[in-house]
Chains A and B, each alone.
Chain A
Amino acid sequence: MRSSRKAFPWHIIVFLAPAVIIYTLFMIYPLIDSLRLSLYTTETQGGPEIFVGLQNYQRLFTDQNWQPRVTGALINTFEFFAIHMLVQNPLALLLATLLSSRFIALRSVYRTLIFLPSVLSVVLIGFIWQLIFSPVFGRALWAQIGIRLPPLLGEPETALPVLGLVSVWQWVGVPMMLFLAALISIPDELIEAARVDGATAWSVFWRVKLPLIMPTVGIVTVLTFVGNFNAFDLIYTTQGALAAPDYSTDLLGTLFYRTFFGFQLQLGNPTMGAAVAGVMFLIILAGVLLYLFTWQRRLLRNTVEM
Chain B
Amino acid sequence: MKTRSVPLNRTLQLGLAHIALILYTLIALFPVFLVVMNSFKERNAIFRTPYDLPVFAAPGVAEDDVTFSVVGYETVFERGNFPNYFLNSVIVTVGALGVVFFAGTMAAFALSEYRFPGNALLGLYLAIGIMVPIRLGTVSILRLVVNFNLNDTLWALILVYAASGLPLAVFVLSQFMRQVPRDLKDAARVDGASEYRIYWMTIPLVRPAIGSVMVFNMIPIWNDLWFPLILAPGEASKTVTLGAQQFLGQFANDYNAVLSALSLSALPVIVLYILFSRQLIRGLTSGAVK
Chain B contacts with A in 1-38, Cβ cutoff 8 A = 2-3, 10, 13-14, 17-18, 20-21, 24-25, 27-29, 31-32, 34-35
Band of interface residues on A: 35 or more
| CB-based contact A12/B116 at 8 Å | yes
- Asked if B129 CB lies within 8 Å of chain A CBs, one says yes
Q: How far is the CA of A106 from the CA of B21 in the complex (A)?
A: 10
Q: Which residues of B contact A9 (CB under 8 A)?
A: 114, 116
- Asked if A67 CB lies within 8 Å of chain B CBs, one says no
| CB-based contact B280/A15 at 8 Å | no
Chain B contacts with A in 252-289, Cβ cutoff 8 A = 255, 258-259, 262, 265-266, 269-270, 273-274, 277, 280-281, 284-285, 288-289
Chain B contacts with A in 116-145, Cβ cutoff 8 A = 116, 122, 125-126, 128-129, 131-141, 143-144
- Asked if B199 CB lies within 8 Å of chain A CBs, one says yes
* Total A-B residue contacts, Cβ distance less than 8 Å: 261
| CB-based contact B222/A137 at 8 Å | no
A115-B277, A116-B273, A177-B281 as given contacts; A132 in contact with B140, CB under 8 Å:
no
B52 to chain A, nearest CB (A): 10
| CB-based contact B139/A169 at 8 Å | no
Q: Which residues of B contact A215 (CB under 8 A)?
A: 289
Q: How far is the CA of A193 from the CA of B174 in the complex (A)?
A: 37
Chain B contacts with A in 233-249, Cβ cutoff 8 A = 241, 244-245, 248
- Which of B47, B132, B133 interacts with A140 by CB under 8 Å? B47
| CB-based contact B222/A121 at 8 Å | yes
The CB with the most chain A CB atoms within 10 A, among B18, B28, B186, is that of B28
Closest A residue to B187 using CB positions: A1
Interface of B is mostly: helix
| CB-based contact A12/B114 at 8 Å | yes
A18-B107, A19-B166, A99-B21 as given contacts; A34 in contact with B140, CB under 8 Å:
yes
- Asked if A79 CB lies within 8 Å of chain B CBs, one says no
- Which of A116, A253, A274 interacts with B270 by CB under 8 Å? A116
| CB-based contact A18/B106 at 8 Å | yes
| CB-based contact A127/B166 at 8 Å | no
Q: Which residues of B contact A219 (CB under 8 A)?
A: 288-289
| CB-based contact B24/A34 at 8 Å | no
Q: How far is the CA of A24 from the CA of B64 in the complex (A)?
A: 64
Q: Which residues of B contact A260 (CB under 8 A)?
A: 138-139
Closest A residue to B50 using CB positions: A141
- Asked if B87 CB lies within 8 Å of chain A CBs, one says no
- Asked if B226 CB lies within 8 Å of chain A CBs, one says yes
- Asked if A120 CB lies within 8 Å of chain B CBs, one says yes
Q: How far is the CA of A261 from the CA of B129 in the complex (A)?
A: 24
| CB-based contact B241/A116 at 8 Å | no
| CB-based contact B273/A119 at 8 Å | yes
| CB-based contact B285/A20 at 8 Å | no
Closest A residue to B144 using CB positions: A30
Q: How far is the CA of A44 from the CA of B223 in the complex (A)?
A: 35
- Asked if A110 CB lies within 8 Å of chain B CBs, one says yes
Could you give 14 example pairs across A and B, Cβ below 8 Å? A12-B116, A19-B107, A19-B166, A26-B141, A29-B144, A110-B21, A120-B32, A121-B222, A123-B225, A123-B248, A131-B258, A132-B34, A136-B47, A140-B50
Known interface pairs A15-B199, A19-B106, A33-B143; 13 further A-B residue pairs with C-beta atoms within 8 A, sorted by A's residue number: A16-B106, A18-B102, A22-B159, A23-B167, A29-B137, A37-B139, A98-B17, A103-B2, A131-B259, A169-B28, A178-B285, A219-B288, A229-B133
